[in-house]
Amino acid sequence: MISYDRARQLGKTYVGALNMGPEEFAALFAPDATVRVGGRDASPTAVREVAPPGRSAFRGARLEPPHVVFTVRVRDRQGVEDLPHRLLVDDSGLITGLEV
């Protein structure tokens, strides 16, 4: 399990990559990572659809072993929504599981 400080650092990197581009975001994932969006199997690209680049911001991290949970704030014309992103992270820091 990673430390809280490492989780916060990873959360900032995660949202930064989310806002940069699909290649940068996909690079955070292990090759065999499991991704679920809205309860369905998905890809990292689908995450960028619910947390669009340029409208997503890092709002914090918390540890819920074995998960790390990032709060990602998504802004749109109607206001803001805070979305939890629940991750499993391996020892090298790659995401092996994600649920949004």
Report the percent of the chain where pLDDT is more than 90: 92
pTM of the model: 0.93
Q: What is the pLDDT of residue 28?
A: 97
pLDDT tens readout for residues 62-75: 999 999 999 999 99
pLDDT at 26 over 90: yes
Average pLDDT, the chain: 95
Report the percent of the chain where pLDDT is more than 70: 100
Q: Read off the CATH number of the domain in which 91 is found.
A: 3.10.450.50
Domain count, the chain: 1
Nearest in space to 97 (alpha carbons), one of 49, 35, 43:
35
pLDDT at 35 over 80: yes
Q: What is the pLDDT of residue 2?
A: 86
Cβ atoms within 10 Å, residue 70: 25
For residue 79, give its domain range. 4-99
Q: What is the pLDDT of residue 77?
A: 87
What amino acid occupies position 54? G
